[in-house]
Amino acid sequence: MKIINNPSKKDWNKILERPTKTVDDIEGVVNEVFLDVQKNGDAAVNKYTTKFDGVSLDNTLVSSSEIEEAIALVSSELKEAIQLAKTNITNFHKAQKTDKVSVETANGVSCWQEKRAIQKVGLYIPGGTAPLFSTVLMLAIPAQIAGCKEIVLCSPPNKEGKINPAILFAANLCDVTKIIKVGGIQAIAGLTFGTATIPQVYKIFGPGNQFVTVAKQLSTKFGVAIDMPAGPSELLVVADDAANASYVASDLLSQAEHGVDSQVILVSTSEKLIAEVSKEVERQLDKLPRKEIASKAIANSKSIFVENEKIALELINEYGPEHFIVCTSDNDFYVDNIENAGSVFIGNYTPESAGDYASGTNHTLPTNGFSKSYSGVNLDSFTKSITFQKISKEGIKTIGNAIELMAEAEGLQAHKNAVSIRLKDL
């Protein structure tokens, strides 16, 4: 990790740049795939699956026999771990349910708001070097609690044309309605336009590489909503001498092993801790099975020394991390004042891995600084708020004149007439 001492504020933007390609670099490819899938449906989807995933499939729909076969391949220990995670995630997301909001805004004027589930949702589950079966839980559980009627899951097949057994086990456990062996841009395009095999959905969820992220953003041009632009994973740790250097190093590496375009950052007011963490990173890195991937991510990562907590906090809010670990002698300062972060992990015994799997919070979070304006996935992500109003005779008398005056001032006579005709009858 590159060590940076007391960077000038004018250099922060450069120092905090993510190691990602620009949209311009990949938008051409994404557009080409989208147009092809829009025009040619499954034929185009299958063509790109062969091109990008190296496998040709006659049928991309996962059958019940494939699910049964996959369930048998998952160890009982892993099944128990997944079930424990499901329980905690369910408990946390069920607690997010809110009651109907109802107010009489004026005499005879009743207004209320109710939430309704999004009927059709698409879940994108990355496969590749790390098949994220945990993401199935993070997306399908709140979709199920919200009451979504169609939950469609897309995940890329391996070279044998199969989806990882743990992904299928988790999907079956969470009552996913349809599972399709399609990944990448073509999966997002399929969910956007619909094909003979892939249902069209109203909102797409899930993380992915930069191509998937741009594809999700493009889908919004065709009337499909997305959870957020969730790209390569990232972590920022703020720590001082109160932290355990080996714990900090393990947290940094836990995100670095996600992919070569992941980024981890350590911010500290202690040069001593930075030196200790650097040694620990090298020591632990050498023993990782995914050493090659993590090494490339670490090369894109930084340890930043700053003089005090106030500067540290300002820099962190400027970065807007996806995951934010706080391990200092004054954790409350950061917890109380953080404004831009996807999810916060507090203290020596709260590894980011806990949120990834089993603590109960959702791990689908905004990256690339989008935590400045986006929330992570939660129960409300799978619902819409609908407002209702009912006005009595007394109510239209109470607010009618105000409506007439406002409509006339805006030059909208028909709006005024809609009220006036009722008032005349009264």
Judged against a pLDDT cut of 70, whether residue 23 lies above it is answered with: no
Average pLDDT over every residue of 258-273: 94
Average pLDDT over every residue of 229-257: 94
Kindly indicate the confidence band of residue 331, based on its pLDDT and cuts at 50, 70 and 90.
very high
Nearest-CA neighbor of 361 among 343, 373, 348, 334?
343
Average pLDDT over every residue of 284-302: 93
Q: What interhelical angle do 23-40 and 42-53 show, nearest 10?
A: 140
Judged against a pLDDT cut of 90, whether residue 210 lies above it is answered with: no
Judged against a pLDDT cut of 80, whether residue 24 lies above it is answered with: no
- Please name the residues in contact with 135: beta carbons below 8 A apart, sequence gap of 6 or more: 123, 125, 126, 206, 207, 363, 364
Is 186 assigned to a binding site? yes
**Least confident piece of the model among 142-146, 206-210, 305-309:** 206-210
DSSP per residue, 33-50: HHHHHHHHTHHHHHHHHH
- Please name the residues in contact with 345: beta carbons below 8 A apart, sequence gap of 6 or more: 323, 324, 325, 326, 351, 352, 354, 355
Q: 302 forms bridges with which residues in the sheet?
A: 2, 265
Judged against a pLDDT cut of 80, whether residue 21 lies above it is answered with: no
Neighbours of 239 (CB within 10 A): 26
pLDDT digits (tens, 9 = 90+) for 177-202: 999 999 999 999 999 999 999 999 99
CA–CA separation, 109 and 396 (whole Å): 8
For position 300, what pLDDT does the model report? 85
Catalytic residue among 322, 339, 352, 404: 322
Nearest-CA neighbor of 161 among 179, 178, 181?
181
Identify whether 66 is a catalytic site residue. Answer: no
For position 65, what pLDDT does the model report? 96
CA–CA separation, 24 and 198 (whole Å): 28
Identify whether 363 is a catalytic site residue. Answer: no
pLDDT digits (tens, 9 = 90+) for 270-287: 999 999 999 999 999 999
CA–CA separation, 149 and 177 (whole Å): 8
Cα three-residue angle 233-234-236, rounded to 5 degrees = 160
pLDDT digits (tens, 9 = 90+) for 98-118: 999 999 999 999 999 999 999
For position 41, what pLDDT does the model report? 97
**3-state SS, residue 256:** helix
Is 93 assigned to a binding site? no
Nearest-CA neighbor of 139 among 155, 160, 124, 161?
124
Contact 231, 367 (CB under 8 A): yes
Is 363 assigned to a binding site? no
Is 233 assigned to a binding site? yes
Is 202 assigned to a binding site? no
For position 302, what pLDDT does the model report? 95
Cα three-residue angle 299-302-303, rounded to 5 degrees = 135
For position 260, what pLDDT does the model report? 87
**Least confident piece of the model among 83-87, 257-261, 415-419:** 257-261
Q: To which H or E segment does residue 410 belong?
A: none
Mean pLDDT for the chain overall:
95
Catalytic residue among 93, 257, 323, 352: 323
Is 356 assigned to a binding site? yes
For position 232, what pLDDT does the model report? 80
CA–CA separation, 153 and 143 (whole Å): 12
Kindly indicate the confidence band of residue 261, based on its pLDDT and cuts at 50, 70 and 90.
confident
pLDDT digits (tens, 9 = 90+) for 129-160: 678 999 999 999 999 999 999 999 999 999 99
Q: 150 forms bridges with which residues in the sheet?
A: 120
Contact 182, 198 (CB under 8 A): yes
- Please name the residues in contact with 63: beta carbons below 8 A apart, sequence gap of 6 or more: none
Kindly report the pTM of this predicted structure.
0.93
Domains and CATH numbers, the chain: 2-19+232-360 (3.40.50.1980), 23-229 (3.40.50.1980), 392-425 (1.20.5.1300)
**3-state SS, residue 409:** helix
Kindly indicate the confidence band of residue 22, based on its pLDDT and cuts at 50, 70 and 90.
low
Judged against a pLDDT cut of 70, whether residue 120 lies above it is answered with: yes
Judged against a pLDDT cut of 70, whether residue 165 lies above it is answered with: yes
Is 258 assigned to a binding site? yes
